[in-house]
Amino acid sequence: MRKYFAIAAVGLLTACARLDHVQIGEIDQSQGSLTPFTVQVSEFGFEAAAAAEIGRIATKGPSSQQFQKIRNILALMNMGPRTGNPVYDDEYANKLMEYIYAECPTGKLTGLTSVREAKGFGPVSGEIVRISGYCIQ
């Protein structure tokens, strides 16, 4: 019972929104009126080793040991630096430039802000890349 309560408490207390990186560009308000826009792409992030660890804590005996072995295998097979939960497709942010220009056909942009953030719950999250800015009319 205490174990489930602990898992629930940890789950509830995990951050729901996470900010990893933000950069703000120059803002030019002297060229004309500004129309704001935002382009956002996201991908499902899943930390399999963390999920296995939750399984290990939530179970007992041989099942717990199985989850421990799975966790160790997953940790070895997916080694490397990470920002947030790993995703299974690293091309989800490849078309950002095209989307930005679709929002602003004049091509005149200013105040571009690049944000790398995530919204999630424990080992599951949406890994987001967001570019917002202003289109000069």
Partner 1 sequence: MFKKLFVSIATCLSLSACVSLNSLSLTQIPEARNNTITATSDSWNLLGIAFSNDFIDEAIMDLKSQCIGGKVEGILTKHQTTVYFLVFKREVIATGYCQKG
Partner 2 sequence: MKKILLLLCLSITGCTHSIHMSHMSDVSANTPKAVNINKHIVEVSTEQTVILGFAFDTEYVDRAYQELQKKCPKEVVAVNTQYSTSHGFLHWTNKIRMKAVCAS
Q: How far apart are CA 86 and CA 22, in angstroms?
A: 19
Q: Residue from 61, 62, 81, 105 that binds partner 1 (CB under 8 A)?
A: 81
Tell me, by CB under 8 A, how many residues bind partner 1: 3
Q: Residue from 1, 2, 13, 23 that binds partner 1 (CB under 8 A)?
A: 23
Residues near 6 by beta carbon (within 8 Å), at least 6 away in sequence: 57
Residues 6-45 that bind partner 2 (CB under 8 A): 20-21, 23, 25-26, 31
Q: How far apart are CA 75 and CA 63, in angstroms?
A: 18
Q: Rule CB under 8 A: which residues touch partner 2?
A: 20-21, 23, 25-26, 31, 48, 66, 70, 73-74, 76-90, 92-94, 96-98, 100-102, 104-110, 112, 114, 116, 127, 129, 131, 133
